[in-house]
Structure 1
Amino acid sequence: MNTDQIKGKWNQIKGNAKQKYGVEMDDEEAFSEGKYDEMVGKIQEKTGKAKEDIKKEIDSW
């Protein structure tokens, strides 16, 4: 397991926290950001790619 995979796990945790905050505060933007962070974290954990590379790849879709 490389450091980017560990960072991916951390991004998933941050994403879940943002989602919970978004639900509690009725903040749809925070909830959406949390979902995005969670998705990037899952991809990062599976592939071991850097977060910035994954974001560029997603933006190109």
Structure 2
Amino acid sequence: MDWNRVEGNWKQLKGKVKEQWGKLTDDDLDVIAGKRDQLEGKIQERYGIERDKVKTDVDDWYNHQTW
């Protein structure tokens, strides 16, 4: 997985992230700035999901993106 693609296109992808995880605020997304570990941490914090499940969910989201 090439997460650099997400970091490089973060401004364009913020909307898609928010569609998937609507509890994340615009401020959260600004702080995350495309960094996967921060994204996973915020999802875990907002949704109360286990770390392993969050990793799987983020992988699934990434793999369903059309580049």
TM tier, smaller: 0.3 to 0.5
* Structure with more contact order per residue of length (Cα contacts < 8 Å, sep ≥ 6): 1
TM score, norm. by length of structure 2: 0.38
User: Which protein shows a greater Rg?
Assistant: 1
